Amino acid sequence: MMKVFLFLTVASLMFAETHTERYVGSAVDLKSGKLIYTEEHEAIYENNVNVRSVITYRDEKKNVIGKKEITFDGTSSLASFRREDFRFGTIESAEPVSNGIKLSNKIDATAVIQEEIVSIPKPLAIDAGLNNLVRNNWDELSRGGKVTFNLGVPSQLDYYQFRLVNVRDEMLSGRKTRVVRFESDHWFIRLFVDPVIVWYDDETQRAVRYEGISNLYNAQGKSYVVRVTFDKPGP
């Protein structure tokens, strides 16, 4: 029985259709429009499912300033990731473990890495797994429904309840897109924290524009507020 299982596992890996896609996101300051950085994505797909991505961040002079590696759990909203900012030594990561989600962060090069294993109620999302969450609830959003979920936040070593809201359909650079808003599920927090807005290509259900806080920080340790535009349907 074990031999048969191993054979089928190896066979499935051998015959999996694997390909790599590359696309670039340009992040500009949301107020001034000034270019802050670019994201160079290398996304590995197996049978048309994104299983791993490597993102290289470059500043406006094209110097490499950071890197992020993501491993996806199939099409679920769960993912493992590690992001490092080479300018300041900032590190953030998340990974599933046997008793929850291990969240880690390091605020700068001189700090010690802080870790916490957090039990996050389902439905939950980690980092770029948010895009899978949107795709998995595409029909519900089409009907005008709201999708509530818990987001693991490594910088806070905790999780928070958010929701997805379908805002509108919009033509963007010749593409029909769905505009989705990510926001806190608590009305009081929404008074002080701006939502994140993402435009998804209607055909591929992949992001083509993002507006909101960045996952990179400035020298003062505050998140940039950016508009990221992808040169083709992205994550």
Three-state SS letters, 184-219? ECCHHHHCCCCCEEEEEECCCCCEEEEEEEEEEECC
pLDDT of residue 194 exceeding 90 = no
Query: Which tokens go with 197?
Result: 């807005």
pLDDT of residue 27 exceeding 70 = yes
pLDDT digits (tens, 9 = 90+) for 43-59: 999 999 999 999 999 99
**H-helix or E-strand spanning residue 138:** helix 138-142
pLDDT of residue 176 exceeding 90 = yes
Domain boundary assignment for the chain: 2-230
- 137 versus 12: which is more confidently predicted? 137
Contact 38, 229 (CB under 8 A): no
pLDDT digits (tens, 9 = 90+) for 81-107: 999 999 999 999 999 999 999 999 999
pLDDT at 164: 95
Distance in angstroms (rounded) separating the CA atoms of residues 198 and 219: 26
pLDDT at 154: 97
Using alpha carbons, list the distances in angstroms from residue 27 to 46, 92, 115, 216, 220: 28, 20, 29, 11, 19
Its pTM stands at 0.89
pLDDT of residue 130 exceeding 50 = yes
Using alpha carbons, list the distances in angstroms from residue 97 to 3, 76, 78, 80, 160: 28, 16, 12, 10, 19
